[in-house]
Amino acid sequence: MFSRDAVLLIGHGSDSLPDAARPLFAHADVIRGMARFAEVGAGVLRGEPNAGQIFDGLTAAVVHVVPFFLEDGFFTRMAIPDLLLPRVPSSRVVRFCPPVGTYDGISAAMSRRVLNYCELFGIAPNTLTVILAGHGSARDPGRARALKRHTEMLENSGRFGRVKAAFLEEPPRLAAALAASRGHHVAVLGYLANEGTHAIQDLPRIIGEERQARGTLWPPVHDMGTIAADEFWPGLIVDRIVASR
């Protein structure tokens, strides 16, 4: 059904960190290896390779555009369509898929990751406070609907002691959520799709500062990294493309 179609994954990227979109390109490689589509491309809005130029290089008549973003906001509703639609020839059909962060399967995938982590380190899941750390927006707070939904789904599963959402650019901020969780084992999982400054600098720094504040008298804070490079993404992306047809 899709053997003549193309897939284009689009991420945020970075003007200053060339490896920020590394997970995006890795997922594209995996999807390309599935041989389900005629072409699989990946590009970014900031940095290289530019998503518009990658789009221009595709030859398939039908292109499925998958925003590798975790929330549905400015970039998915405005920036990506504004970039691509002027480039669409009359002979091409472009299908815009929802941003990957809106997929319900993410909650189960994050739950499995935390449970595996608990098993590896001998932590009872029902004693663990899980904090999902998202980007947030200082200019437009309160729009992180997908993260809040995933948080509620994990909380309602009853597998963990507590599940909270916190942010790097809006309240409730990660540092405050960590301070409020002293006395509890805490695992921080970054709800971030880009390995930019927030993922490689801010998240480790805030966790490190909380560890220093806790010293040796408080239960530890576990840094689980981010979900950007998790192996569940390629299969989930393909499933969503198939479902949206």
3-state secondary structure 175-217: HHHHHHCCCCEEEEEEECCCCCHHHHHHHHHHHHHHHHHHCCC
Q: What is the DSSP letter of 50?
A: B
Contacts of 225 (CB under 8 A, 6+ apart): 189, 190
Q: Contact at 8 Å (CB) between 68 and 9?
A: yes
N-term to C-term CA, the chain: 10
User: How far, in Å, CA of 10 to CA of 170, rounded?
Assistant: 25
- In this prediction, residue 135 carries a pLDDT of 92
Burial of 216 (0-12, 13-18, 19+ CB in 10 A): exposed
Q: Contact at 8 Å (CB) between 64 and 8?
A: yes
Model-level pTM greater than 0.85? yes
User: Could you read off the pLDDT of 153-211 as tens digits, one per residue?
Assistant: 999 999 999 999 999 999 999 999 999 999 999 999 999 999 999 999 999 999 999 99
| CA-derived radius of gyration, the chain | 19
Quote the mean pLDDT of the chain: 94
- In this prediction, residue 104 carries a pLDDT of 84
- In this prediction, residue 230 carries a pLDDT of 96
Q: Is 48 helix (H, G, I), strand (E, B) or coil?
A: coil
Domains and CATH numbers, the chain: 6-102+230-244 (3.40.50.1400), 105-226 (3.40.50.1400)
